[in-house]
Amino acid sequence: MKEGPDIALIGSLIGDPARANMLTTLMTGKALTASELAAEAGITAQTASSHLSKLEVAGLLTQRKQGRHRYFALADDEVGNLLEAMMGLAAKRGHMRARTGPRDPALRKARVCYNHLAGDYGVRMFDSMVARDFLAEEGEEIFLTEEGEGFVGELGIALPDLEKSRRPLCRSCLDWSERRTHLAGALGTGLLDRFYDLGWAHRIEGSRVVSFTSEGERRFRECFPEA
């Protein structure tokens, strides 16, 4: 009986893992750029672009152009509610995401979260800097203290350059593997870039894994002692 609305269309849109990842990420309510969503879903920009346009045409996402960026967000509350309902059902049935793969342990240890360090190392760095009062938390906001400015300066980071960009210097980001906060923002990006420059670590091609050299690992642990 072909009566009523077409749920298969919406189902198939949510049914693709890459799109489901994007939608889940957007459940935070924050609008994200196409590249951020691509990184989150673990796909290239081309593929993400195709997915995002499908989701927008179907009315699940809205798009806002801002300069070179395109920010995507869930179209409205109803979409969020539907996703929430699906998560509820999935959780009840025990359908958790499969997370078994050879790359997985490396991903949990250290990976890029769009442009900054995440995973165990990302959280460790953040905690260590907070413990030594280099970073101060005020609610959602995070500030670099005066001592912190000295610290990152010694590391060889040019703060004035970072402050020139319109991005906030410090932002918090929630880690899916650790379920704790790590450092994002211009400083988060700056620190990771500095680790690359210092030769402590490098990106694994075609993956989000950040691989530390043994020397780099030693220096990193020295630099960010556990609290």
Partner DNA sequence: TTCATACTTCGATCATAACCGAAGCATGAA
Partner DNA sequence: TTCATGCTTCGGTTATGATCGAAGTATGAA
Site for its own copies, rule CB under 8 A: 1-17, 19-21, 23-25, 40-42, 58-59, 78-79, 81-83, 85-101, 103-104, 107, 176-177, 179, 206-208
153 makes contact with DNA (CB under 7 A): no
Which value, in Å, is the radius of gyration of the alpha carbons in the chain? Answer: 20
Helix pair angle (45-57, 17-26), 10° resolution: 70
φ, ψ at 174 (rounded to 5°)? -90, 135
| Nearer residue to DNA within complex by CB, 24 or 213 | 24
Q: Report the alpha-carbon distance of residue 32 to residue 71 in Å, rounded.
A: 5
113 makes contact with DNA (CB under 7 A): no
Quote the tokens at residue 44: 């290239």
18 makes contact with DNA (CB under 7 A): yes
Among 163, 131, 138, CA closest to 149:
163
CB of 148 to its own copies, least distance (A): 26
158 makes contact with DNA (CB under 7 A): no
Q: Which does 93 bind (CB under 5 to 8 A by kind): its own copies, DNA, none?
A: its own copies
Binding residue for DNA (CB under 7 A) from 67, 102, 156, 160? Answer: 67
Which residues, at least 6 apart from 215, have a Cβ–Cβ distance to it below 8 Å? Answer: 199, 200
